[in-house]
């Protein structure tokens, strides 16, 4: 049973297939309007969401299926009355596919271990693979290719988005530079760092981690940043994190060090004046709403591919 748990588990071919399928669905959605007829998706949420929830639900509806929003705060699972194992074994008797947005990545792995239907990681503290697949689609659409491009990521790098970039970009032959503060709570987790180093060696791409924001973005084709206050970070840490991450804020001046035709990405939600200035996110290089739109095309592609492979369509 193939799931989407992290992009570490996915080959370059699987990633390329997801991107080309998402682009085909985007180009001709009518062609796929019955592709998931009468299929049911369960969407397990422990954390908030705008894009992920709406794009999965709208995407499933557009393909003729149905999506159930399952908020763990009103479930026996969230109330400590039922185990992950019993929840998933029950859920699999009703639905064809599951997506889950959770705090602990280990809980997602446990779900996958008990599931007889495909599971899609819709964000854990550790990784956010569906996001990065939609980001790669967006980059390919704007730049015409992935291999040989340089992506610079600035800011909080001990996070799900960074880890998924590390698992995917070097594998796809992209050069990757990370600009972040020093310290293990701000730098990528060792396993993601090791995967990026090994993949870069295999594909001949460059992978660099630096504490100098200007060096990170130099000649980049894509500049990417993410929230300094991910959903799981306690509010009390806000002031301290603003102080630590401010040198990595994406400003118009910093964008000038990238290539003149560089595009700007942020997975959203975004805070103007924090991880980037308003001038950057609302400026001509920003493609953040194309990026947000592509979440839906990518989710449709992922459901189609995984359900097809599981023999359920």
CA distance 231 to 269: 10
CB of 297 vs ligand NVA, minimal distance in Å:
17
Which residue in the list 51, 128, 241, 297 is annotated as catalytic?
128
Q: In what order do the strands lie in the sheet with 119-121?
A: 66-71, 40-45, 97-101, 119-121
| Residue ranges in 99-128 that form contacts with ligand CP under rule CB under 6 A | 123
- Please say which residue, 14 or 47, places its beta carbon nearer to ligand CP: 47
CA distance 281 to 64: 35
φ/ψ of residue 136, rounded to 5: -65, -40
142 among known catalytic residues:
no
CA distance 232 to 223: 24
115 torsion bin: left (phi>0), alpha (psi -120 to 50), beta (else)? beta
Instruction: Select the residue interacting with ligand NVA from 42, 223, 267, 292 (CB under 6 A).
Output: 267
Q: Does 271 bind ligand CP (CB under 6 A)?
A: no
CA distance 280 to 29: 32
Binding mask 202-231 for ligand NVA (x = CB under 6 A): ------------------------xx--xx
CB of 135 vs ligand NVA, minimal distance in Å:
11
Q: Does 159 bind ligand NVA (CB under 6 A)?
A: yes
Q: Residue 180: which of 201, 162, 165, 199 has the closest Cα?
A: 162
- Please say which residue, 160 or 277, places its beta carbon nearer to ligand NVA: 160
CB of 251 vs ligand CP, minimal distance in Å:
22
34 among known catalytic residues:
no
Active centre residues (catalytic): 101, 128, 131, 226, 267, 295
Which residues contact ligand NVA by CB under 6 A?
A: 123, 128, 159-161, 226-227, 230-231, 267
């Amino acid at each position: 049973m193939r799931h989407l748990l992290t992009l570490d588990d996915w080959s370059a071919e699987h990633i390329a297939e997801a991107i080309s399928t998402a682009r085909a669905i985007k180009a001709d959605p009518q062609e796929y309007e019955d592709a998931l007829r009468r299929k049911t998706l369960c969407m397990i949420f422990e954390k908030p969401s705008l894009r992920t929830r709406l794009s999965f639900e709208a995407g499933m509806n557009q393909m003729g299926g149905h999506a159930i929003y399952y908020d763990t705060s009103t479930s026996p699972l969230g109330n400590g009355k039922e185990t992950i194992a019993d929840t998933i074994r029950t859920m699999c008797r009703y639905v064809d596919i599951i997506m889950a947005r959770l705090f602990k990545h280990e809980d997602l792995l446990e779900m996958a271990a008990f599931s007889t239907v495909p599971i899609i990681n819709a964000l854990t503290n550790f990784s956010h693979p569906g996001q990065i697949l939609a980001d790669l689609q967006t980059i390919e659409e704007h730049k015409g290719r992935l291999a040989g491009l340089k992506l610079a990521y600035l800011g909080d790098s001990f996070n799900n988005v960074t880890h998924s970039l590390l698992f995917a970009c070097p594998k796809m032959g992209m050069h990757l530079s990370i600009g972040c503060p020093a310290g293990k709570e701000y730098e990528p987790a060792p396993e993601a760092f090791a995967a990026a180093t090994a993949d870069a060696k295999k594909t001949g791409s460059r992978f660099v981690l630096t504490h100098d924001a200007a060096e990170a973005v130099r000649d980049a084709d894509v500049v990417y940043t993410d929230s300094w206050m991910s959903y799981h970070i306690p509010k009390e840490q806000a002031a301290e994190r603003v102080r630590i991450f401010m040198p990595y804020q994406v400003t118009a001046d910093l964008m000038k060090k990238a290539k003149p035709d560089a595009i700007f990405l942020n997975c959203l939600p975004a805070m103007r004046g924090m991880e980037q200035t308003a001038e950057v996110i609302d400026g001509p290089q920003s493609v953040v709403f194309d990026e947000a739109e592509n979440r839906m095309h990518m989710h449709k592609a992922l459901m189609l591919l995984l359900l097809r492979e599981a023999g359920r369509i």
